[in-house]
Amino acid sequence: MRAMYIWSAVMLASLAGQPAEAPAPKVKTLVLDAEAPAAPDVVRVLTDTVVNVYGADEGREVIAQSEVAEVLDVEQQKMAAGCDAVSCLAEIALALDADTLVKLSVAQVGEQYVLSMSEFSADTGRPVARMQSRCQADDGALLAAVEQLTTKLLQSTRGEVQFFGTISVKTVPGGGQVYVDGERLGPSPVSKAVPVGAHQVRVVQDGDEAAVDVEVRRKLATDVEMALRYRAPPPPEVLEAYEQSSAVRPVWLAGELGGGTAGLLCGGCCAAFGGMAAVQSGLGLAYATDDQQRQGLYLGIFMWGAFAVVGTVAAVLGVTGLGYGVYDLGFGAPEEPADGPVVHRVTIKTEGEAPRELRLDVGESQRH
């Protein structure tokens, strides 16, 4: 018995430690005003009946058409005035962020009322379910029939309503053929409402194709831009090194050309002057009359000779620097970095999130 208590406590603790499952999202439904050959008060009661039946369901969030004026702005109200087509009503439902819209129509045929009730997807305009029933042409019987038909329609659509998001595809350049889950949508740019979840987007253009899997979220737009055979730019570090080399090149050229020219001119002048002075001192030895004069002339030959040697070295260095400068000016420009490989560039942006970029090798597909 004690072991059973311990086992029960362990099981309860393990269950308590498990994360609770997220509640299923509610289906937001716009209930349109009923159409019936009856008094306005009766029609209003029929609409309220549909609203109450749908509103009592835990998986539904209901908006009545009477609430539309409180939600739509003035421009949307003007656009919606007199709008009866399902596609137009679906636009209103989307403006209200609704997933579906429900419409009840009643027609009198002889002594009977014929009830037609439909639920449409706001994203696609397509019917989720349609039902029809008959009753006696009596207000009490009509009210009961509407409640029964609404309950039946609600039960038939439970778990059948899909949530949608939007995929918009653009190619660079435009005109690429776009396929979503194998269905051809036509040339880009193109958009389509698709059920929430993963979808494959494939683009075919000029003999190339690329495919990527995209996750679509409820009521959010996902933009996909695909540039086939995109020439990727050089890596950032290569571009940075090139820019630095280009920035310091004028300084190096100025130093080489300016320094070389100055060294050549100054060194050449010094070498010429020192050489001439040394020769003159050497010639003066022939006319020297005493040892003191000879010593002075020898010292002059040494000093002016050294001056000439230093000038010659400076002139050689100047010629060398000038040569490097001339070479760099004509041939020493830093080589421009080569572009990166040819890839398929895919940019994916989901509403409310930062864009994400993928680069696919030609012939490669990737999941996002």
Nearest to 349 by CA among 214, 182, 204: 214
* Total-model pTM: 0.57
**Residue 3 lies inside a defined structural domain of this protein:** no
Give a yes or no: residue 94 inside a domain.
yes
Q: Are 34 and 123 in the same domain?
A: yes
Per-residue confidence in pLDDT tens, the chain, 368 aa: 455 545 455 454 554 555 555 677 889 999 988 999 988 999 999 999 999 999 999 999 998 887 776 555 544 554 555 555 566 666 777 777 888 989 999 999 999 999 999 998 888 888 899 999 999 999 899 999 999 999 999 999 888 888 899 999 998 888 899 999 999 999 999 999 999 999 999 999 888 888 899 999 988 899 999 888 776 666 666 566 656 666 656 665 577 667 767 776 786 787 677 667 667 666 666 666 676 666 666 676 677 677 668 868 877 876 786 666 566 555 566 556 555 667 788 888 888 888 888 877 776 555 44
Q: Is residue 6 part of a domain?
A: no
Q: Is 254 contained in some domain?
A: yes
Q: Which domain holds residue 291?
A: 236-331
Residue 18 domain-assigned (yes or no): no
Are both 195 and 63 inside the same structural domain?
A: no
How do residues 104-117 score in pLDDT, each as one tens digit? 999 999 999 999 99
- Determine phi and psi for 355, rounding to 5 degrees: -65, 150
Within a domain: 352: yes
Same domain, 37 and 150: yes
- Domain presence at residue 228: yes
Residues 171 and 283 in one domain: no
- 27 and 128 share one domain: yes
Q: Which residue has 């050089």 as its token pair?
A: 234
Residues 171 and 151 in one domain: no
Domain boundary residue, one of 157, 181, 196: 157
Residue of 100, 101, 97, 61 whose CA lies nearest to 84: 101
Query: At 212, which CATH number?
Result: 2.60.40
Q: What's the domain count of the chain?
A: 3
Same domain, 144 and 74: yes
Token pair 């009592």 is found at 56
pLDDT in tens, 248-303: 566 655 776 677 677 767 867 876 776 676 676 666 666 666 766 666 666 766 77
Query: Is residue 46 a part of any domain in this protein?
Result: yes
Written as one letter, the residue type at 362 is: V
Q: Report how far residue 19's alpha carbon sits from residue 39's, in angstroms, rounded to the nearest whole number.
A: 53
Rounded Cα distance, 96 and 7, in Å: 52
Residues 177, 140 share a domain? no
Which residues lie closer than 8 Å to 330 by C-beta, 6 or more apart? none
Among 123, 157, 191, residue at a domain's last position: 157
